[in-house]
Structure formats: structure tokens, C-alpha cells
Structure 1
Amino acid sequence: MEETLELRDILEILKRRRRLIAGVFIAGMAAALLFLLLVTPRYTSEAALKFNPSRFEISAQKSNVGSELFDRLMAGEIAAVKSPAILMKVLKAEDLLNDPELNKTTMTEMVARGLNGLFGYAQADANHDAKILERFRKKLQVGNPDRTNLISISYTSWDAKKSALVTNAVANAYLAQHLDNRLASTPLAAKWLNERKVALRERWRRSEGAAEKFKAKNNLSYVSGEKLREQYIDRLNEQLVLAGTKTEAARARVEQVRQLLKSRNYQQLANMLQSDVLTQLRDRFAAASQREASLSISLMPGHPEVRKVRAETASLRAQIENAGRRVLDNLEVRFRAAREREELIRGNFDKTISGIQDSSPDLVKLRELERMAASDRSIFETFLNRTNETLEQSTGQFANYRLIQVAQAPTQPSFPSKFKVLVLAAIGSLAAGLGLSFILETLCNTFRTGAHVSDVLKLPVLATLPKLTRKELTGAELRRNPERVLAHQRGTAFAHGVAALNIGLRPAHGDAPARLLAVTSAQEREGKTMTAASLAQEAALSGCKVLLIDGNWKNPRLRAIFETHSRAVSVNGRRKNGQSEPLLLHDLSTGLDILPAMAGAGNSSRFGASEEFAALLSSARDTYDLIILDTGPVLSDSDSWGPISEADGTLFVIQWNQTRRDVAARALRTLETLDAKVIGVVLNGSDLQQMEQENQVVSAGFTRRAAPAVNGRHGIDDGAAKAQPRPGLHSF
């Protein structure tokens, strides 16, 4: 069955790992404060341009721009603001090419220069301006907030004043470039009209001056009541002047259309002709051109999207050219018709003049001069109006772009935001501390509490022995042999824990037969010898006659521990006088007898399986109240399996927060195959402070509740009293 993590378990984990969580949180906040102290603040200034597409002139009347066209126009204008031409003007005007901020060498460039110098490829930086331009572009932000008709321009710099200065410079450069483009949108047509206007003005002045001079020279004056023929001549003269004006206007229109087609000024061409077809084509062509400019900045020239939009632009240009030529053909037809009408009227006028029998040729000459002056004046006024209209259309659209917000030097840095950094650091460090705590709990494959031992191994924890402190290990002897601490330190937490274990294992009746207790572990260095030696000394000090046997023949330790304060005796009590009898060490401090390894007649690990060792154990049962066998590790010393299987009970020692759960489980499975009688677990080397924080241990060596009676004898449990022995294992 899968284990579920309850709220109480989560709270216990948080309580157990609170120091780690607090440490990670404090470290994260300290790192955030250090970041705020060391990082260079950056300031961002913003300017805003207002774009009014409702006044964008697409025909003779103002009309609104559609949503799709508006988005394309805005994208094109944003790309124009960040175009290299405008940015390079700003860099040169503000002397930013030598700005330290833009000329700062990055780590990548330093590494590249170092590698080039190492391999002999060092060369002058020929693309300095291009690199500065690219860095400047990255610091400049241009956008269309919320798809409004505003263009926001912002620049980020280390200096607040410089950020405002550069932002305003970019905005002004864009406006100036936009004005220049509008003024130069119809250069050929405007130049031709201006030249034609000057020529017509001079022609009108000369013809009018000639008429006035002729009138003054011949002393001619006009009175009312002219003759009928004079009135007829005047009407013909007016018709001739009107026809000449129409002819000249038609010719001027043809010339202007021809010039606009030649210069490809499709916008002015559509405005002048007031053609719906040309207006639609012009709008589509403008949108395609804007899209082409935008894609050319972000994509390579050979990109499929760029080629596609270029093909669309070329197709629209060809359609506009064809439509314009058709209109030009119509205008030429009208021009020829006007010219033929003028010639017809002129012929009638000449016939009328030649047929008049008048004695005053001066009057006829004066009328002709006045007619020429009136015709030249009408033509001049027509061209003057056309020139003014052209110039107005060239400059009028600049009003569509207006600077509505001037960038100001900011008082607070845009980066880093102290509040955001501290909040993110607090949330991130807290999340990291919690995550690390749960990860460590998940990866923790050791035993930290008695409940863990009972849940995993299904065995009761008989005692929890704390780790010896430096204060308890006083003197060189105890630091060298901490297993003898029971003989010198009786009031320590460790001594209380061993005493509790001894009481739990004591026979219920004094005349009960002696017991053989094996003490083992899964691997070396888990406190097995420490537990066996301490339990043997405690039992001996409590009045029992105890024999401690060193059954770890591969790594014997008991001789080195006890021989300093012991005397050697034989098993039958005689002093050493023969070679066939195994020798014992009698500890003078506790009265404990020790049978060291390698002391038997077999003088090897085979001694544990010999008949002599079996006879020794049989004799010891009659002599001693308790026999404790310190065996080798179960998983690495198979020579100890025989004595373990013959023991009346086995204590399984686990090192706190060190013995892996899978290793302990594998060792218990091995004991199960040996039919060993595992009576419980001793949790050795525990950190009582941490275990008390986990609400598992009340005091050193004593667990929360007493274990249930086992065969009339009482053990000690740490809250896992309900744990039952493993199947196949027997109670002691």
C-alpha cells in the first residue's frame, strides 16, 4: 500500500527542517540585498508620439483608415523609428559613438579577443559603429501600447539625464525625418510647377506691360457704348482667352501626370486625379511597402516572406503604372480636343478682325494686346493655385505626427526595483527552502526516528542510545576506547540508555537459565561493538555474571579495548599454563569476563563452528548469567551466521541517520533465512535534540511507551509498541 503524506507529516517535516528553511531564507534575502548594493541602477525615460490616422489623406476627402491598414502603418512607423538612418543620426548628434556605456567590453568579446590573440588572428575592430548601433538599438524600446494611436519611445541608461536626452533626441530625429520625407515626396512635380509659375508670371507681366505702353503711346481711351462689331470682337476675345486657359490647363495636367508617373509618386498622383481605383491601389501599395520595410529589418533579404512581400509590392506598382498610363492617355485626348477648339476660335477671331473695315488699326492692335495679357493672367493664376495645392499636400500630413509627451529625467531607477527584488527573493528563497527540505526528506534513506524503524522493519525499538559527546569522553583512554565509558561515566544520557536496555532484557526470575544474546548489525561501523560492550559492562555492574565473546573474527576489537585493565585467566579459572585452553580477560573495573577472538585452539574464524567453541558455550551457560556474543556484520561476515542462528536472541543495531533502509532490510532477510530470533532493534548514535524536535523521544534512552511483554520479559519501545516481529523471527 502506498504511503500518503498527511498534514501532520508535512508540519513535522517543516518543524524538523525549520533551521534549513530559515537558513536558505536568510541566505536568499542576503543575496538580494547584496545584489541591490552591487548592481548598477538603470533609468528609463519615455516619450510619446501621437499618430492620427483619421487625417491620413487617401483621396480628395479625408477618410478613416481600416484596422488592418492601421496595424500595418503602425508597424511600419515603429520600424522607421528604429531604422539605422535615424539611430545613426542620433548617435552622431549626441556623440554617443564614444559613450562609455555603449563601448563597454562584454565578457564574450574579451574571450573572443583573447582567443584571437592566442591563435594570431587579432585584427582591428572594423565594425565599431555597427556594434555601437546594435547595442543602442537594444537599449531603445519602441512600441504601440494597447494598439492605440500612440508610439512610445524609451531609452535605458545608467544616467537618468542621459536617458531623457537620448529619448527626446530619437523622437525629434524621427519627426524631422518624417517632415523631410513629406517635403521630398513630390520633388519633380513641385520643381516643375515652380519653374513654370515663374515663367508664366514674367509672360503675364510682359504682355500686360506691352498693352499699357501701346495705350499710352497712341493716346487711346475707352468709353461706354461700343459699337456692335466691337462687342462681337470682345466676345470672341473672351472665348479665345477661355479656350487658351483650358488648353494650357489640360497641357499642364498632362505634364504633371507624366512627371508623377516618372517619379513614381503614387500618393500625389492619386490625390490629383481623384481616382478611386488609384486610391485603393495606392493604399495597398503603401501597406505593402510598410510591411516590406518592417520585414527587411528583422529578416534576411532572401527570406521567403521578404521575397513574397517584394513580389506583391512590384505587382501593385505595375498596376498603378498601368492605371496611370490609361488616365494619361485620356488626359492627352482632352488636351488635343482643347487645343483644336482654341485653334478654331482663333481662326474665327482672325477672320473677324481681317474683315472689319475700320480706320483705326491701333484699336485693333490694343485689343489684341489686352487679349494676350488676359490670357497670360488666367494661365498664371491657374498654375499658381496648382502649385499652392501641391505644396500644401506635401506638408499638410506632418500634422498627423505630434510629440505629446516629452521625456523627463526619472527620479527612481527602472531596474532594479527594490520592492520586486525583495519580494521575489523572499518568495524564491522560501520556496527553495521548502523544496530542498522535501527533497532531502525524499532522498533520506536512513533511519531518523524509532517510528521509521518500526514502520520499515516491523520490529520494536528496544532502546535509543545517544551519541557520546566530547564532554563525556574525557581523557585519552576514553577517546581511544569509548566502549569503556560505562566504567567511568555512570550519570550520562548514554549510561541511562544502556541501563534501560539492560532492564528490558533482564530475566523475570532469578533462577532462569542463562541466555546467549547475539549483537549484530548490517555493516561495519554501526555501533555493534559499542552496544555489546556497553550492555555487558552494565549487566556486570548490576550484579550479573557476564561473559562477552568477540565473535567478529575478521575485525576483532575487544582485546584492544579491555586488555589494559584486565588480567588473563583460563576458562576453568586456572592461570595461563597450557596452550590448549582458550584464555579469558577479566575486567578489574566491572568484573566482566571477555573471550577475545583468535584465542581459541583453532586460532582462526573456524573456531566459531568448532566443537570446542560449542563445548565452551555449553560450559559458559552453567557458569554465567548472561552471554553476549559480538558478531561480525551480517552482510559481510558469513562466519558469524552459525553462532547467530544458535543464539537465544539477537539484537539488531542500527546507526542513527547512517544505516540505509534497504541495507537494513536486506540484513534482516538474511537473518530470517538463518532462522535467527531477532528480538528488537537498538538505535545507536542518535541526536536526541533532533529526535525530541520530532516528538519521538522524551529523554535520553527512554522511549515514549514501554514495549509489550515478550515471553514474560519487558523491553523498551519508542512509540512503536504496536510493531510486531517479522514473520519467521522469534521472540527472545
Structure 2
Amino acid sequence: MGSQVGGMPVPQPEGGGIAPVPGPGYPAVPGYGGYGSPFQAGRLDDDGVDFLKYFWILVKRRRLIFFTVLVFCFVAVVANFLITPVYRAAIVLQIDRTASGALNLEGLQTEETLTGTEFYQTQYELLKSRSLAERVVTQLGLVGDQAFLPDTAPSLFAQAKELLAPVLGKPTGNEGKSEAEIRRDRVINAVQDGIRINPVRGSRLVNVSFDHTNPEIAQRVADGYGDAFIAENLDRRYDAASYARTFLEDRLQQLKTKMEDSETQLVAYARKEGIFSVGDQQQRSIAEANLDTVNSSLVQARADRIRLEEKWRLAQSTTGYGLPEILDDKSIQENRKQYMALTAEYQQKLRLYKPAFPEMVQLKAQISELNAQANAQIAAIKESIERQYQAAKSNEVALQAQLDSLKADTLAMRDRSIQYNFLKREVDTNRALYDGLLQRYKEIGIAGGIGTNNISFVDHAKLPDKPAFPKLTLNLAIAIFAGLLVGSAGALFLEYMDDTFKTPEDVEALLSIPVLGVIPRPKDKSAPQDELQDPWSPISEAYRSLRTTVQFSTADGAPRNMIITSARPSEGKSTTALALARNFAQLNKRVLLIEGDLRNPGLHKQLNMVNKNGLSNFLAGLSTLDEVILPTGIENMSLITSGPLPPNPAELLSGPKMMSLLTAGEERFDIVIIDAPPVMGLADAPLLSSIAVGTLFVIAAGETRQHAVRLAVKQLQFARGRLIGVLLSKFDAEKATYGYGYGYGYGYGYYSYGAQALTHDAQKSEQSGA
């Protein structure tokens, strides 16, 4: 059957176990041991990184971080005075993409084909090259300069590396070299190691610096580096021009011979095939020229034939005077005028005379003669149109036949022109290559003797007056940064390795059990009992807050009987039991405090009472309840001591006597508080928790490991214990992960974690019930 908390039913787990009492605002979540997943509550539920948490971790471990920074700073200061000072001399060079000279021929500068970034990156790599370092060493005579690189014995590491090289199969690179060659290699390597190339962003300038322990040598090598780089650039350009001249001479001779041969072959083939040049654009044959002429004539003949054919068709379909040629003929028009006049006269006289009248017969004959003449002329015109049409048709057929013949000749000529065109293209290509190379050869010949250069000095090296390295301020800044980094990493690592409960948030996040109170650690290493004597001490205020929270932990107020236990000894459960009993007694409640730890009791010692007849005697049936209940000298509070320690505490506690004791205690007292033994390794606490109304679990902050607490909670779960909450004891606000810096104030007090929320919700519940 489920219990009720805050007016709400809390079901018990199936198969036995603990029904967690979340309290107002603390819902239970399914998960580990019935208490919810460790990552389903509290800060660990939030997405992202809790920066505030890490900040307070660093604040908590600030002494470690501060000590680490001090060590790093001390090492930096010592190293600053032990390291030999190094001086830095620098020059500024300007590198242009085009040579600043009187002649700048396209193609002579090979780097012009590169992009800006590639070009300048190439120049920077050339400044770092070994060949340039060798040139500087040779020009300045650094091989024999003992001030630049003294002859010193190699270091122990170098000697060991040289000895182990044959064993490891890794050559040192000095095999077969003389002492002079080995020293020269060392000097060149020293020059390469000391040079620094720093381009000026967004410009054509580059800073070239050299580091050395001697400031004069640093200045000399820096200037020598600039001179050597300019000279090497000029040598590279001259060598490129000289090589180009030699190469072009050979290529020109080859191309000249090849061009002559190709021209000879072209002329011979054109003569053989009868191909000649018409105009300046292309080579054409006679057949191709005739083909164009005949094709144009055929197009015109076809147009004429079509036009005459249409006229002939019109003439055939027209019976009278519909043709333009008939209408435009003057004789026909004159004939028609006479015809119309005689016809009119005939019609007029027909009114007076009969058709047989001689004059009428004569007019009729004249009209017929005119009509016959007109028809004859029209027929002649139609015949002429037909003859024109037939002539145009014959002309078109003749031109078409001629065109077909020329097409065949042209196609044959084009087949022969394939080889001609190939030879001609070869001649053109060879002539273009020859002309281009000849022009370039002349340009290189002119430019070969001119020393064009695109690199110049902007600033020469000055004699350095102070070392560039080491710098105390820079070293200290690096040491502080490294110290903070290492110290912070160490602090986070120590915090990660510390798996104890440090804050109420840890308890709720990992157990999903409400924290009813937080008891601070006594100041100045004093005993909690001593501070409990002062009613205004932070510990007294915290226990009074715990009493208030316990009063609202169930729907009926404080549990009639409850046990107080912990995972392991020395977590403050006995002090909590005594302080809680005393605080309830101050409310005029009758309190029975039972010393339930039958293995290592300590309550009677805190109350300065004799432990002769107590709980063990009652459970064994040797004493009555009245005989074991003792007054404590504190009003409204009585005590049952543990009595003689029995050999079998678990058997005594599991008997019926313990249940009858709790029943009788509830009848005679308002609240019964049992100081139970620790859970781990013992069966006493789970037995007492199974018969008690409520169980208060005490966890020592910063001391109790999470694994031990989980196992203890799991044992209480198996025993069907009813946990009303957790008390976090020995809490150190200054060492907590989060900022509890407001602490426990002088008279103002620090309320236990969750107390205000629980009290507020309980008051609302009472008001609604009223």
C-alpha cells in the first residue's frame, strides 16, 4: 500500500523496495534503484556546458592553481637568468614582381607566370634555402670564424646519438667527411637555424633577421644575407638568359631547315596538281572558279525559267486580252478601238436597216476582219511566250549538266587539295615558330647584358643594443598562462577524481531524492556538540531548519517514528538524531530518543548518561519499557540507551519486541527518533528502516563516496524502507563546487537546502485544506 507525501499518494515499488518521497517540487523519475537516472535531474539535465560549474571548481581549487602559477613563474625567472642572451639584427627588403630596370621583356622573368601569393611564397622559400646559406657562409668567411661558431665538444646527447647510429641503422650524415667538411655543414646549419623570414602583410616588404649571441656578427650576417640574395637573383636571371640564348639558337636552326623543306614540298605538289592562288585568302583550282560561275548562272536561269513558265501557263489559261503583253500592244489596242467604233455604228444603224442591207453587210464584214486580225496577233504573242519558255528550259538543263560535270571535277580537286592544305599549314606553322623564336632571340640578346633586378634594400641592419631573447616580461606572461592552464587542468582532474557528494545538487542529480537539510561544517575544527550549545550558531540554525522541513515531509506532519542512518560511520547521524530530538522537544513535543546502534553506541556519551540498562535489555525481555526509558535532563525528551552490547544485534532488532517498542512509544510520545547504525555491511539499519514510518539518510559532504551511498540506498530499498529525504552534513560552503558564499550568517542564518520551498508548499496545502 502506498504512502502519502504532501497530500499526494506515493506508490511503493513492486516486489519490495523504497518508495522515494520526492517532496514538493521533486518528482521521482524511473531509473537507478527506483530513484531515477543520475542524469535526469539537476544541472546534469541541461544541454550544453555548465560554465558556472567549472568556474566554481576553479575557485574551489584556487590554491592549487595559484601554487602552480608561482612554480611556473619561478622556473621562468630562473631560466631567464641562465639562458645566454641572443641579439637580433634585421634588414628590410623590397621584392617586386617586375624588374625595376630600363628593359623588362615579357617572358624573361619566369616567375611572372605565378600568382601573387605563389610568387612571394617562392621568394620566402628561396631566402630559407640551403644554397643561399652556403653563399652567405662563403662570402662572409664564417667557416673559419671562431666567434661565429666556436669549436666545442659535441654534447652528450650528440655523442650518444652518434654512437647509437650504427646500432639503430640510421646514418649520421658525417660518414666519409673530413673535419673541415663537418665544420662547414655545422656553420651552414647554424646560419639556417638563425635566420628568420617575416613578411609584412599587405606589402612587398619582408623582414629578414638573424639571431646570434654576438651583436656584431648578427648585424654582419643579416646584411650579408640581403647582398647574397640580390646577387643570387641576378645570377639566376643571367643563367636563365644564357641558357635561353643557347636553346633558341639550336631551335632556330632546326626550324629554318624544316621551314625550307616544307615550302619546297608545297610548291612541288601545287605544280603537279595544277593548284594555283586566286587572291590572297586561299588556294583555289580552275574547276572551283568555274563551278562558282556556272552555279551563279544556273540560279539565274532557273529563276528565268520559272518566271516564263508561269507566264506561259497564264497565256494558255487566258482566252482574250488578259495577258500584259496583249494589253500593252499598240496595234491590238488600235484594232480594238476600230472594232468598238464599227460595232457601235452597226448597232445604231441596225435600228434603221435590216442586216441584209448592203451597207449593214459591209459593216459586218469590216467587224469580222478586225476581230480576225486581233486573234491572229494574240496567237502570235502566245507563241512567242511559249518559245521563250522553251528556250529558258533548255538553257537550265544545259547549265545543270555543266554544273554536275564541274562538281565532279571540283570534288576530285579537293581530294588532291587535302595534302596541299596539310603542306600549307605546316609551312605556316614553321614560319610562325621561326619568326617568334627569332624575335625572342633578338630580345634576349639585348637583355642578356643588362643586370635587371627586382629586389632592393629598404633598411640595412643596425647593431642591436639589447638582446631579443630572453625577455623577462614575455617569459612571465607565458609562465602565467601555462601555470593557469596546467593548474586549471589539475583542478578539473582532481575534481573529476573526487566522486563524493559535495553539494545538494549532486545528491538530487545522482539520487533524485530531496535534500531536507544542509548542515555546515563546524568552524575552527570545533565539535558540533559545542556549537549546538549556542542557539544562534549556524549549525543550530541549520538543525532548526531541518526540523521545519521534517514537519512537512508527510501529509500528517512529522513521522511518528523515524530512524536516522548513514552509509558509513562518522557522518553525523548521532549528532543529527540528538539535535533533531532536542529541537522537537523545544516545540513542547514529547520526544523519545532511542540509541539503536547496538554495535558502537555514542548518544549516551554525548548526554553524559550511564549505559547499563537499555534497548538490548528490553529486546531480550530482561527489562520493561518503563525501566529502560530514562530522563535526559532536557524538557520533553527521554532516552533509551543501547544497553549492554549483544552478540546478535540483528536478531534482537528483527524480533517482535522492536515493533512493540515503536507502538508503545507512539502511544506515550509525540515522536520517536531512532539513532540507527550505518547501512554498509550491517543488517541493523535496513531492519529498522523496514518497520519505521520514515528514514532520514545522512551523507557527509566531501567524504562519502557516491558508490557507497548508492549501495546503501539499494539495501534500504530491498528492506522496503521509506526514505523521507537526505541530510547533507559537514557542508563546507567555501569548498563546494558552486558558490554558496552567502554562507551561514550571524543570526541571519542559512536555511537548509529546499526548506523554504517545502515549507511554502506545505502551507499552501494546509490553506487549501482549511
The one of 683, 690, 713 equivalent to 1:645 is 690
Distance 2:679 2:656 in 1: 22
Q: Match of 2:724, as an amino acid?
A: I
After superposition, residues 339-378 of structure 1 pair within 5 angstroms as none
* Aligned with 1:531 (options 548, 553, 576): 576
Deviation at 1:167, TM superposition (A): 1.0
Report the AA paired with residue 561 of structure 2.
L
SS in 2 for 1:566: coil
Matched, 1:86 2:135: yes
Residue 499 of structure 1 and its aligned partner are, at CA, apart by 4.8
**What are the superposed Cα offsets for residues 473-509 of structure 1, whole Å, 9 maximum, x if unpaired?**
4xxxxxxxx6x5478766643344345545766899x
The alpha carbon displacement at 1:594 in A equals 4.4
Please point out which of 499, 515, 526 is paired with 1:472: 526
* 1:595 matched to 2:641: yes
1:519-576: CA deviation from partner (whole Å, max 9, x where unpaired)? 12244443223323444566679887765444445x52438946975252367999xx
Whole-angstrom CA distance in 1 between matches of 2:686 and 2:72: 56
1:518 deviates by 0.5
> Contact 2:552/2:758 (CA < 8 Å) preserved in 1?
no
The 2-side partners of 1:722 and 1:507 are apart by 10
Asked if the contact 2:149/2:187 (under 8 Å) is kept, the reply is: no
Q: 1:440 to 1:27 in 2, by over 3 A?
A: closer
Q: Find the counterpart in structure 2 of residue 632 from structure 1.
A: 677
Q: 1:548 to 1:173 in 2, by over 3 A?
A: same
Structure 1 contact 96–102 (Cα < 8 Å) conserved: no
Q: CA deviation at 1:718?
A: 5.0
Q: Which residue of the other structure, out of 569, 572, 577, is the alignment partner of 2:613?
A: 569
SS of equivalent to 1:632: coil
Identity %: 17
Q: Give the distance between the partners of 2:522 and 2:104, measured in 1 at CA.
A: 100
- Residues 32 and 425 of structure 1 are in contact (CA less than 8 Å); yes or no, is this contact kept in structure 2? yes
Aligned match of 1:35: 76
User: C-alpha separation between the residues in 1 aligned to 2:111 and 2:679?
Assistant: 82
The 5-angstrom pairing of residues 126-525 of structure 1 reads 127-141=182-196, 153-173=208-228, 267-268=241-242, 278-279=247-248, 396-397=450-451, 402-411=456-465, 414-415=468-469, 447-450=501-504, 453=507, 460-470=514-524, 472-473=526-527, 485=530, 492-501=537-546, 515-525=560-570
Seen in structure 2, the aligned counterparts of structure 1 residues 115 and 722 have a Cα distance that, compared at 3 Å, is: farther
Relative to 1, partners in 2 of residues 1:160 and 1:669: Cα closer, same or farther, differing over 3 Å? same
What residue in structure 2 maps to residue 188 of structure 1? none
Please state whether the residue corresponding to 1:397 is helix, strand or coil. coil
Report what 1:717 is aligned to: 755
CA contact (8 A) 2:92 2:207 kept: yes
Counterpart residue identity of residue 451, structure 2: Q
Contact 2:196 2:209 in 1 (8 A): yes
Tell me the amino acid that sits aligned with residue 35 of structure 1: A
Cα distance per residue 1:425-475 (max 9 Å; x no partner): 7777778888888888888765444466556655554433221234534xx
Q: How does 1:546-557 map to 2 (within 5 A)?
A: 548-552=593-597, 556-557=600-601
Deviation at 1:629, TM superposition (A): 2.2
CA distance in 2: counterparts of 1:640 and 1:103, whole angstroms: 78
Greater relative contact order (CA < 8 Å, ≥ 6 in sequence): 2
Distance 1:395 1:145, change over 3 A: farther
1:722 Cα deviation from its structure 2 partner = 7.0
CA contact under 8 A between 1:696 and 1:719: conserved in structure 2? Answer: no
3-state DSSP class of the match of 2:451?
A: helix
Matched with 1:611 is 656
Alignment match of 2:89 (pick from 45, 48, 51): 45
Is the 8 Å Cα contact of residues 90 and 222 (structure 2) preserved in structure 1? yes
Query: What's the offset of the Cα at 1:140?
Result: 1.5
For structure 1, which runs of at least 5 residues remain unmatched after alignment? Answer: 186-264, 280-319, 331-389, 474-481, 708-715, 725-732
Return the alpha-carbon distance in structure 2 between the equivalents of residues 164 and 534 of structure 1: 82
Q: In 2, distance between residues paired with 1:619 and 1:36? A: 76
Q: Secondary structure at the match of 1:599?
A: coil
Structure 2 distance, partners of 1:550, 1:161, is: 89
Alpha-carbon shift at residue 171 of structure 1 (Å): 3.3
> 1:638 Cα deviation (Å)?
3.5
**TM-score, length-normalised on structure 2?**
0.50
Q: CA deviation at 1:684?
A: 0.8
Q: How many residues align?
A: 514
Q: Helix, strand or coil: the match of 1:530?
A: helix
Residue 569 of structure 1 aligns to a residue in which SS? coil
Q: Deviations over 1:7-57 (max 9, x none)?
A: 998568747854656984896598469637743554432224566775599
Q: Distance in 1 between matches of 2:151 and 2:631?
A: 84
Q: In 2 relative to 1, CA 527–135 (structure 1 residues): closer, same or farther, beyond 3 Å?
A: farther
The RMSD of aligned alpha carbons is 6.1
User: Within 2, Cα distance between the matches of 1:69 and 1:454?
Assistant: 70
Could you tell me which residue of structure 2 aligns to residue 479 of structure 1? none
Name the CA shift for 1:128/1:548 in 2 (closer, same or farther; >3 Å): farther
- Map of 1:558 onto structure 2: 602
Q: How much does 1:76 deviate?
A: 8.4
